[in-house]
Amino acid sequence: MKHADSQSPDRQSPVCFVANVARLPQKGLPVLIEADAAQRAALAGEHELLSVENYRAELLVAPWKRNGVKVSGRVEADITQACIVTLDPIEAHIDEAVDALFLPEQSKLGRQGFEGGGEIMLDAEGPDSPETFSGNSIDVGALAEQFFGLAIDPYPRKQGVSMEAADDAGTAESEFQQKLRSLLGKS
């Protein structure tokens, strides 16, 4: 399954929304992305889903520290996936928090710790380290799609179905072969 973090950087997100971060209001810039039918079809194809019934991202793009940008909010979607055992359609709801920090490439904060042998302390439970951006804009739509992609169950199974169900046909066949061997007198 493809995830947004494994896709080529030159691929444009079906829900691309480029926010100009050069002069953000102090309270932040609210962004609402509601995918239309073509965008939902493209999202389904990108993430190997049967369909995306609805997709909505509500984000706030706000200034952070001196030159940084904080993007926070939620991405919600209703999707249909194929069960990995039966291939039957399974409906799922995604409701994922979006939280990311960005620093300009030339920022001292972004380089701090990577030059001169410094150390960066990362907390596995804490927020991710800031990403860098160049220019005056960030594709917050692509960011929301990354969080959407990470929230998709990579191994969806229909309720009550186990992997053994897929083996039942093989088990029945091997039991038949064993009975046949015993009837023919072969071990």
State the Cα angle at 24 between 97 and 34, rounded to 5°: 45
Say what percent of the chain tops pLDDT 70. 69
Cα radius of gyration rounded to whole Å, the chain:
24
**Residues 112-163: tens digit of each pLDDT:** 544 444 455 555 555 567 888 888 999 999 999 999 999 999 999 888 777 6
Q: What are the sequence ranges of the domains in the chain?
A: 4-156, 160-187
What are 31's two structure tokens?
């962004």
Confidence of residue 179 (pLDDT cuts 50, 70, 90): low
What's the CA gap between 77 and 116, in Å, rounded? Answer: 44
User: What pLDDT is attached to residue 5?
Assistant: 40
The contacts of residue 176 (CB under 8 Å, 6+ apart) are none
Provide the pLDDT for residue 35: 97
